[in-house]
Homo-oligomer: A and B are copies of this chain.
Amino acid sequence: MVLEKEKGETKPMRILLTIAYDGTRYSGWQKQKSPEVLTVEGEVEKALRTLFRNPELECIGASRTDRGVHALGQRAVIDVETTIPPEKIPLAIRPFLPEDIVVTAAREVPGDFHPRYDCVKKTYEYHIYQSPYKNPKERLYSTFVYSPLDLEKMNEGAKAFVGTHDFAAFCAAGSSVSTTVRTIFDCHVEQEGPHIRILVTGDGFLYNMVRILAGTLIAVGQGKIPAEKVAEIIAGKDRRQAGQTAEPQGLTLREIYYDLP
């Protein structure tokens, strides 16, 4: 794979990658100081350095997914000088990536584009497997709930998240952000047999926010928290009133949206 040697001038470009991964093996997206710690960013960067023959190359990710969290639409940018057309990068990088990471798309973006600051909205999915017994095939990609869940109540509770609110009650302790106000554009729950999925789209999310939201809606579905109390919990800004932080393996970063031509 010596695509760089194809005829044609190299051209400096900023490229936006879309990345899907199974987060099971990884200590999250973000590269750690110790090179011993396996991270998705570390593996992606290593593959990019090999492909572009540039040991200095660094990528900037859009979202710092936690240990065990998955992605279908993570994004990252790189600056490269190459003759490889951006749309060929997904195929060209494949031999250098482990099989649990896939680059699904690549495109050129303006030189001042930033994957975090230019993000317009993001969609996360939280997957619950509801059944009397665990399904071993789903254990790494869902949280297991034994008791039946009331979908109607969960959807009623989900509506309370929509809008611009101070989500201090849905933020892990110890995280330092300038504001805990976020706007949620959509939050709803879908069911297909034993698979229950919470889909939430917002302009940004606090640390553990989707997992606390999921834990709260599970408690609503179980009848432990009344659906009409969710709005109160948000207004109360007290983390202790919200539900538990749902397990990481149920969470998937589905999509990140940008205003790009």
**A residues neighboring B (CB under 8 Å):** 20-22, 70, 72, 90, 99-102, 104-105, 132-137, 139, 141, 192, 252
Contacts and interface: CB of A to CB of B under 8 A. Distances in A.
Contacts of A252: 137
A100 B137 CA distance: 7
A194 to B, nearest CB: 11
Nearest to A21: B136
Contact of A133 (B102, B134, B135): B102
A11 B135 CA distance: 31
A70 B102 contact: no
A93 to B, nearest CB: 12
B133 A99 contact: no
Of A20, A72, A90, A139, the most chain B CB neighbours within 10 A belong to A20
A185 to B, nearest CB: 22
Contact of A134 (B102, B132, B134, B137): B102
A55 to B, nearest CB: 26
Contact of A135 (B72, B90, B105, B139): B72
A76 to B, nearest CB: 16
Contacts of A101: 136
Given A20-B135, A22-B137, A99-B136, 14 more contacts: A20-B136, A20-B137, A22-B136, A72-B135, A72-B137, A90-B133, A99-B139, A100-B139, A101-B136, A102-B133, A102-B135, A104-B133, A105-B133, A137-B141
